[in-house]
Structure 1
Amino acid sequence: MMDTALTAASADDAGGLFTLVETVEALSSARTVEEVAEVIRSTARRITGADGVAIVLRDGDKCYYVDEDAIGPLWKGQRFPMTACVSGWAMMNRKTAIIPDIYSDDRVPHDAYRPTFVKSMVMTPVRPDDPVAAIGAYWANEREPTAAELQKLEVMARATAAAFESAGLRASLETALGAKDALVAELDHRVRNTLAATLSIASQTLRTAPDPKDFNEAFEGRVFSMASAHELLAKADWGPTSLDMVVRAAMDRFGGVDGERIKAAGPPIAVKAEAAVAIHMALHELGVNALQHGALRHQGGGVEVYWSIGYDVVEGKQVPARLTFNWRETGGPTVAEPKKRGFGSKLIEQGLPRELGGEARLIFRPEGLRFSLAAPFSNRLALAQ
Structure 2
Amino acid sequence: MVRAAVLRERGDATPDPLLTLVETIEDLSSARTVDQVAGVIRSAARRITGADGVAFILRDEGRCFYLDEDAIGPLWKGRRFDMSECISGWCMLNAQTVVIRDIYQDPRIPHDAYRPTFVKSLVMTPVRPRDPIAAIGAYWASERQPTEDEVAKLQIMARATATALDSALMYASLSETLERRKFLLRELDHRCKNTLAAVQSIADQTLRHAQSPRHFVEAFNGRLGALSRAHELLTREEWGRAPLAEVLAQTLAAFGGVDGERIKAGGPPIRLAPETSVAMHMAFHELAVNAAKYGALSRDSGRLEVAWTVEAGADERPMLVLTWSERGGPPVTAEPRRGFGSRLIEQGIARDLNGAAVIDFDPQGVVFRLRAPLSDRMSRT
1:363 paired to 2:350: no
Runs of 5+ in structure 1 lacking a partner? 1-172
The within-5 A match list for 1:260-339 is: 260-312=261-313, 321-338=318-335
In structure 2, how many angstroms separate the alpha carbons of the residues matched to 1:372 and 1:342?
Answer: 18
The residue number in structure 1 matching 2:207 is 206
Q: Measured at CA, do residues 265 and 355 of structure 1 come closer, stay the same or move farther in structure 2, by a change above 3 Å?
A: same
The residue number in structure 1 matching 2:229 is 228
The TM-score with structure 2 as length reference comes to 0.52
Alpha-carbon offset, residue 174 of structure 1? 11
The TM-score with structure 1 as length reference comes to 0.51
| Paired residue type of 1:196 | A
| Paired residue type of 1:331 | G
Alpha-carbon offset, residue 188 of structure 1? 2.1
Q: Measured at CA, do residues 332 and 358 of structure 1 come closer, stay the same or move farther in structure 2, by a change above 3 Å?
A: same
Q: Measured at CA, do residues 342 and 213 of structure 1 come closer, stay the same or move farther in structure 2, by a change above 3 Å?
A: same
| Paired residue type of 2:284 | L
CA offsets, 1:57-109, max 9 Å, x none? xxxxxxxxxxxxxxxxxxxxxxxxxxxxxxxxxxxxxxxxxxxxxxxxxxxxx
The within-5 A match list for 1:142-153 is: none
The residue number in structure 1 matching 2:142 is none
| Paired residue type of 1:306 | A
2:317, 2:373 within 8 Å by CA — same for their partners in 1?
no
State, as a whole percentage, how many aligned pairs show the same letter.
49
2:276, 2:352 within 8 Å by CA — same for their partners in 1?
yes
In structure 2, how many angstroms separate the alpha carbons of the residues matched to 1:274 and 1:312?
Answer: 24
Number of residue pairs matched by the alignment:
208
Alpha-carbon offset, residue 189 of structure 1? 2.0
Q: Measured at CA, do residues 174 and 190 of structure 1 come closer, stay the same or move farther in structure 2, by a change above 3 Å?
A: farther
- What secondary structure sits across from 2:306 in the alignment? strand
Alpha-carbon offset, residue 322 of structure 1? 1.5
- What secondary structure sits across from 1:237 in the alignment? coil
Alpha-carbon offset, residue 290 of structure 1? 0.4
The within-5 A match list for 1:57-206 is: 176-206=177-207
- What secondary structure sits across from 1:338 in the alignment? coil
In structure 2, how many angstroms separate the alpha carbons of the residues matched to 1:203 and 1:325?
Answer: 29
Alpha-carbon offset, residue 176 of structure 1? 3.6
In structure 2, how many angstroms separate the alpha carbons of the residues matched to 1:356 and 1:269?
Answer: 13
**Structure number with larger C-alpha Rg:** 2
CA offsets, 1:13-62, max 9 Å, x none? xxxxxxxxxxxxxxxxxxxxxxxxxxxxxxxxxxxxxxxxxxxxxxxxxx
The residue number in structure 1 matching 2:374 is 377
CA offsets, 1:198-240, max 9 Å, x none? 0000001011112111111100000000000100000010001
- What secondary structure sits across from 1:178 in the alignment? helix
| Paired residue type of 2:288 | G
CA offsets, 1:311-343, max 9 Å, x none? 2588xxxx6612111100000111134252011
1:239 paired to 2:236: no
1:309, 1:320 within 8 Å by CA — same for their partners in 2?
no
| Paired residue type of 2:257 | G
| Paired residue type of 2:282 | M
Alpha-carbon offset, residue 190 of structure 1? 1.7
Runs of 5+ in structure 2 lacking a partner? 1-173
- What secondary structure sits across from 1:371 in the alignment? strand
1:358, 1:374 within 8 Å by CA — same for their partners in 2?
yes
| Paired residue type of 1:341 | R
Q: Measured at CA, do residues 337 and 181 of structure 1 come closer, stay the same or move farther in structure 2, by a change above 3 Å?
A: farther
Name which of 338, 342, 346 aligns with 2:343.
346
- What secondary structure sits across from 2:179 in the alignment? coil
In structure 1, how many angstroms separate the alpha carbons of the residues matched to 2:175 and 2:335?
Answer: 51
Q: Measured at CA, do residues 256 and 207 of structure 1 come closer, stay the same or move farther in structure 2, by a change above 3 Å?
A: same
- What secondary structure sits across from 2:318 in the alignment? strand
In structure 2, how many angstroms separate the alpha carbons of the residues matched to 1:383 and 1:236?
Answer: 16
**Pairwise CA RMSD:** 2.1
In structure 2, how many angstroms separate the alpha carbons of the residues matched to 1:248 and 1:298?
Answer: 20
Q: Measured at CA, do residues 229 and 174 of structure 1 come closer, stay the same or move farther in structure 2, by a change above 3 Å?
A: farther
Alpha-carbon offset, residue 182 of structure 1? 4.2
Alpha-carbon offset, residue 175 of structure 1? 10
- What secondary structure sits across from 2:238 in the alignment? coil
2:270, 2:378 within 8 Å by CA — same for their partners in 1?
yes
In structure 2, how many angstroms separate the alpha carbons of the residues matched to 1:338 and 1:204?
Answer: 20
Q: Measured at CA, do residues 356 and 312 of structure 1 come closer, stay the same or move farther in structure 2, by a change above 3 Å?
A: closer
In structure 2, how many angstroms separate the alpha carbons of the residues matched to 1:229 and 1:351?
Answer: 16
